[in-house]
Structure 1
Amino acid sequence: MVIVLGIWLGEVPARAIVFFSQGNDANLTNPGNGVPWDNVVQMRNGSSPIGTGVYLGNRYVLTAGHVGPLTSVKVGFLDYQLDSSAPISIGTADMKLVRLASDPGLGTVRLNTSSASDGGLAYLVGYGVGRAPSSLLGTSPVTWGDSSTATKRWGTNFVDGAISGVQVAGYTSDLLRTQFNSNLGANEAALTIYDSGSALFQQIGGEWFLMGLGAYVQNSGYSLASTDFNSRESDDSYFIRMSSYSEGPHQIAAVGVPEPSTHKLLLVGFHFDVEHIIGIHFFCVLLQ
């Protein structure tokens, strides 16, 4: 499938993971398939959650540029203070690197460098809010809960499109898209609040790569689900596209994080390009 997304984005940030047919007690532990679960961390302001991040290595955490102000990062059950260095912006994209004052003892995360591999089944991991108690399972929209429902969850979705040069809240970013559908399995997930900076992982050639970083959704406070592809009744989640920013003099690899592993594998049976235009109009919500 060849898809280029034509969209207009108002200024709205991203939130945490919800499911159409499962409650807040679903998918709270490592799925056990090798996905870098432990490297997904919670960004905090004082004692309050404010977003999600991905620990890359060498004390660096990647998160959305609009997540802040930050005072610490929660890794597992422990809070780690930030060091005194200023956050490092990644070009004009809605991303930044912050550095921990001490080493949390985690491994590194591979960054995708091949745009040809951007597409197909992916795992979402984030610290966003869940559904509200009043939101019935299997009904649309899924209403978001309050901050007491925010915790680490994983879900799945399908990357089906990309768009370049999207301007939101002073940032210009390349994005990947997933849709929230009601008929694609119990683990089908959408981003919610505090999911800004959440991870979008894909397994390629037996290895896990960070493909995207959670940034924006369509609606604030709820997620629409539909059985129809590209329906206005199906919410889209947008992720900063790692393959656009993983290499180069002004990119993530230029900072002293472990260099990303490269690969040139194509997803079998999936051709991902930018030739078919889909017009989508919505206010983009920031997930913080």
Structure 2
Amino acid sequence: MNNDPLGPVLITGGGGFLGRALTTRLLDAGETVVTLDLSPATGGDPRATHLGGDIRDGEALLDLARTHAIRAIVHLAALVIPDCRGNPLLGAEVNVIGHLNMLEVARSLGIRRFLYTSSIAARPRPPFDAPVNLYGVWKRACEDAAKVWFLDHGLPSVGLRPNVVYGPGRESGETAAITLAIRAAAQGLPYAMPFTSRMCFQHVDEVTDIMERCLRVIPAEPVVSDLTTDIAGTDDVIAAIRACAPDARITPSDTARPSPLELDNRPLVDLIGDWRRISLAEGVRQTFEHYRKTA
């Protein structure tokens, strides 16, 4: 794998959970990182440059990328499921127009390393063989737009579809329940799981490893891929927590959350090869130890 410097990397949504984790990983690898969020990432890694801005403002994005000589883009900024449901027009502006703006920045400046997060929610499913929420609709549109930018302009891209990413710092969003349950157990507090489901649980360190590897490869055509096909249940999460804290007061839920349908990460494996997988037991233990030390 090519380990030459990527050049300054722009991470949109840099103030979020995954953005912060990837920023630190890239900095540790010797990269230069510029983060962008609506407000500069307060408390973010001081080795990075943290900027405030709106991904709906295409001209400002282009000026920023030119000023900082950006040579790679990781586009993470988006509104999540509840926000898209509550304000569909704003969701479309941020998630779709913002994505198109980032593609245009890459095209205009000849940036060949373009990585973005889509979502399992983009996968069609019953009852209408379509995404079941607006967030998924917008993410599917982003995947297709990236393919058209390749057809029209030759712009390569990699779109990743995470399901549930957990670990220290993942404390907001619908699926943050996994991390919150681990944190509660480490602090000796009770926690009621808000849902039950079978899902793909990936520790943040594994996901940022995948993302860094993707940045170091320029694909011959657009790639869209699930991250993993390993599915476990929330009961497995509770069991892993109790392996760390046998007396953990984690209450399961009777509220079912839809599980992902068939998954396929072969495009990702073909692109970057294999990587070190972090088992659910290991990831829960690492997260538990983090919160126990900071309690």
TM-score normalised per structure 1? 0.29
Larger Rg: 2
Give the number of the structure with larger relative contact order, counting CA–CA contacts within 8 Å between residues 6 or more apart: 1
Q: Which has the higher helix share?
A: 2
Q: Which has the higher strand share?
A: 1
